[in-house]
Amino acid sequence: MTYIGAEEIISPLGQNIQENFEAVRENRSGISLVPKVGFNKEDIHLAKIITLIKKNKFEFLLIDILEKVLKRIDASIIPSEKTLVIISSTKGDLDRDISNPFAPAVAALMKYFNLKSQPLIVSNACISGVLAINAANNFIKAGLYEHAIVIGCDVISDFVLYGFQSLFAVSALPCLPFDKSRSGITLGEGCSAVVVSKTREIYTSSPLELLSGTSANDANHISGPSRTGEGLYRTIKRTLEQNNVSADEIDFISAHGTATVFNDEMEAIAFDRLNMSDIPLNSLKGYFGHTLGAAGITETAISIQMMHHKLLVKSLGYSEAGTSKTLNIATENRTSELNTILKTASGFGGCNASLVFRKL
Amino acid sequence: MRSITAYCQISEDACYVNGDVVAQKNEESPDSWFKQLYKDLAIEYPKFYKMDMLSQAGFLGSEFIKQTYPGLISSYAEDEVALLFANSESSADTDIRFKESYQDKGSPSPSLFVYTLPNIVLGELAIRNKFYGENMFAVLPKFAPDFFLQYGQIMFETGSKAVLAGWLGILEGKVEVSVFLIEQNKPDGLQFNKQNVIKCASPDDQA
């Protein structure tokens, strides 16, 4: 069996997992209107960590999150050849060196914690986080490592903001995932982590069981989601089949829900094709914004907390159905026994990924 | 038993398939090196011209493999071919151009922005070949045969029947490209081990 736990988050909502879950439980958003940051000096809604120092933010966050994770596990596994660090990120420290956005920060992380194995950087657009957790599970199941620390991190840059502005994909309001009035993403920044291991004893608090996950491509378009939800449909189907889990065993779906018109519609179609439209679902983008490489890990971390607290957290920003297939989107927090959770992600390049975790 | 059944390497001035030169750069040609290779393939795929160099590199490598080895497409079902790619530069070649678009040329270019993720090449290969299988793009400090060996093994063990893999070193004129196909239970090919991954894919060991 593979375990998952020791979840941590640094975001505009807090400096650790407790602060972040507390904010989410209170339905507070990390999104604020940041003056004059747009390409044409417009004010833009962002989930920005205002207190974050400017220089080498990416490296700072990687080290900071691993310090926090250390307190949640047997720290002696860190400087060990049996431990792999996997970093999920789309753009790394692009503002530091555009030609080499990852290596300096990763070298600093290795040195700081005396890591024995070269960290792996997974860079697959917005599925990077889910894919990195799946990779961690795969490395452990194959017997190549015993533990993996999976860190997701992306910071807001002019580069990424201007890019999404050029695609007319940035919402004027804080993003409204799955809502009728949704009109695009709100960018976020943050760093989050989970620890995946074959050894239950390394965790200071009870972990969950991580089942093997999969990925699938839409084979349709590099920047537009499939109209049939093809890749998302296929990855969820494969993940459930590989684990002999049926759709009616899933208590909750932590969806991707970027709040672009086409992405959310695509997800609704895929869930409908899988007869999963009745399963309670949320998107956490209304709390954290879209944190790109960190998103899948942040959302997994919050879902783990939801399971521990027996609390289904509402999908912030949603009020009226806005997809052609109706979904069961959580409109209020409610107490709920969550035993098995499906996490999904989709991204540019037509990529999709999914994973399942459950209570021991 | 797994083996590398076909491989294509592209340097700044030559293209090799299974170790043999199939094309050399014509310095007199008005066409770019990658456009010359595209023309050598004699295929109709106008989307090629929209791709950035990273995607073109993966596309050319896989198309040269298909020309000598059409089985890559015909032998497998839609979900059975996994894509396993890596480099050291991520999408920096296009990132630099996108940054220039908003810093020096007036406005951010959406057509460049969509290529500022290294995994876009996997999307291009999936679209071209109808590959609905597993995807993985990793950024490594330098070429690492163990990454391909380990994750290749994992992809087979988790249900993929073939792995199309590649190292795509593209940055400001540098071209260190290799694409190779790993299959199981084939009589031909090179055994899928560290030595042969280096032979087929290492930028320091091009044919």
Residue A275: CB atoms within 10 A of its CB come to 10
**pLDDT given at position A36:** 98
B-chain residues near A133 (CB < 8 A): none
CA distance B91 to chain A (A): 9
B-chain residues near A118 (CB < 8 A): 140-141, 144
Q: Is the dihedral of CA A33, A37, A39, A43 positive or negative?
A: positive
Dihedral pair phi/psi, residue A245, rounded to 5°: -110, 130
- Picking from A107, A162, A234, the nearest residue to B132 by CB comes out as A234
**pLDDT given at position B205:** 57
CA distance A43 to chain B (A): 17
- Distant-in-sequence contacts of A104-112, Cβ < 8 A, 24+ apart: A104/A59, A105/A56, A105/A58, A105/A59, A105/A62, A106/A62, A106/B141, A107/B141, A108/A59, A108/A62, A108/A63, A109/A59, A109/A62, A109/A63, A109/A66, A109/A85, A112/A63, A112/A66
DSSP element (H, E) containing B85: strand B81-87
Q: Where are the domains of chain A?
A: 2-202, 211-358
Domain A2-202 belongs to what topology? Peroxisomal Thiolase; Chain A, domain 1 (3.40.47)
Cα-trace Rg, chain A: 19
B204 pLDDT band, cuts 50/70/90, is low
How far apart CA B166 and CA A139 sit, in angstroms, is 20
DSSP element (H, E) containing A23: helix A17-25
Q: Is A212 on the interface with B (CB under 8 A)?
A: yes
Residue in chain B closest to A91 (alpha carbons) equals B117
Residue A71: CB atoms within 10 A of its CB come to 11
Percent of chain B exceeding pLDDT 70 equals 98
The predicted model gives B126-132 an average pLDDT of 97
A351 sits in the region (left: phi over 0; alpha: psi -120 to 50; else beta) called: beta
Q: Domain B2-205 maps to which CATH number in 1.10.150.120, 3.30.70.890, 1.10.10.1100, 3.40.47.10?
A: 3.40.47.10
The bridge status of strand A340-347 relative to strand A351-358 is antiparallel
Architecture per CATH, A211-358: 3-Layer(aba) Sandwich (3.40)
Q: Do the Cβ atoms of A57 and A93 come closer than 8 Å?
A: yes
Q: Where are the domains of chain B?
A: 2-205
Q: Is A61 on the interface with B (CB under 8 A)?
A: no
How far apart CA A241 and CA A101 sit, in angstroms, is 37
Q: At what angle do helices B53-68 and B120-129 cross, to 10 degrees?
A: 40
Would you call B81 helix, strand, or coil by DSSP? strand
Q: Is A216 on the interface with B (CB under 8 A)?
A: yes
A163/B147 CB distance under 8 A: no
pLDDT digits 0-9 by tens, B39-59: 999 999 999 999 999 999 999
A-chain residues near B115 (CB < 8 A): 222
Closest by CA position to B147, among listed A100, A86, A211: A86
Dihedral pair phi/psi, residue A30, rounded to 5°: -85, 5
B90/A165 CB distance under 8 A: no
Is A127 exposed, middle or buried, given 0-12, 13-18 or 19+ CB atoms closer than 10 A? buried
Which of B50, B117, B122 has the most A C-beta neighbours within 10 Å, making it the best mutation to test the interface with A? Answer: B117
Following DSSP, what letter does each residue of B139-202 receive, concatenated?
A: E-SS--HHHHHHHHHHHHHTT-SEEEEEEEEEETTEEEEEEEEEEES-SSSEESSHHHHHHHH-
B-chain residues near A103 (CB < 8 A): 88, 141
Q: Which residue has the tokens 């035993």?
A: A339
CA distance B143 to chain A (A): 12
Is B117 exposed, middle or buried, given 0-12, 13-18 or 19+ CB atoms closer than 10 A? buried
pLDDT digits 0-9 by tens, B69-115: 888 888 999 999 999 999 999 999 999 999 999 999 899 999 999 99
Dihedral pair phi/psi, residue A343, rounded to 5°: -115, 135
The pTM of this model reads: 0.98
Q: Which residues are within 8 A (CB) of A188 and not within 5 positions of it... i.e. 6 or more apart?
A: A11, A12, A30, A31, A46, A47, A48, A156, A285, A288, A289, A290, A291, A294, A295
How far apart CA A332 and CA A318 sit, in angstroms, is 10
**pLDDT given at position B74:** 84
The token duo for B186 is 């084939």
Q: Do the Cβ atoms of A127 and A345 come closer than 8 Å?
A: yes
A242/B114 CB distance under 8 A: no
Residue B168: CB atoms within 10 A of its CB come to 27
A-chain residues near B133 (CB < 8 A): 216-217
C-alpha distances in angstroms, A46 versus A53, A160, A190, A309, A315? 17, 12, 12, 28, 18
CA distance B120 to chain A (A): 4
Q: Do the Cβ atoms of A115 and A79 come closer than 8 Å?
A: yes
**pLDDT given at position A180:** 98
C-alpha distances in angstroms, A155 versus A8, A92, A303, B186, B187? 17, 7, 22, 46, 49
A159/B99 CB distance under 8 A: yes
Question: Per DSSP, what are the bridge partners of residue B165?
Answer: B84, B180
What is the dihedral angle through the alpha carbons of A16, A22, A26, A28, rounded to the nearest 10 degrees?
A: -10
What is the ipTM score, two decimals? 0.97
B-chain residues near A138 (CB < 8 A): 151, 154, 157-158
Q: Which residues are within 8 A (CB) of A50 and not within 5 positions of it... i.e. 6 or more apart?
A: A12, A32
Following DSSP, what letter does each residue of A255-308 receive, concatenated?
A: ------HHHHHHHHHHHHHTT-TTSEEE--HHHH-B-GGGHHHHHHHHHHHHHH
A217/B108 CB distance under 8 A: no
**Average pLDDT by consecutive 10-residue portion of chain A (360 residues)?**
98 98 98 98 97 88 98 97 98 95 97 97 98 98 98 98 98 98 98 98 98 97 95 98 97 98 98 98 98 98 98 98 97 97 98 97
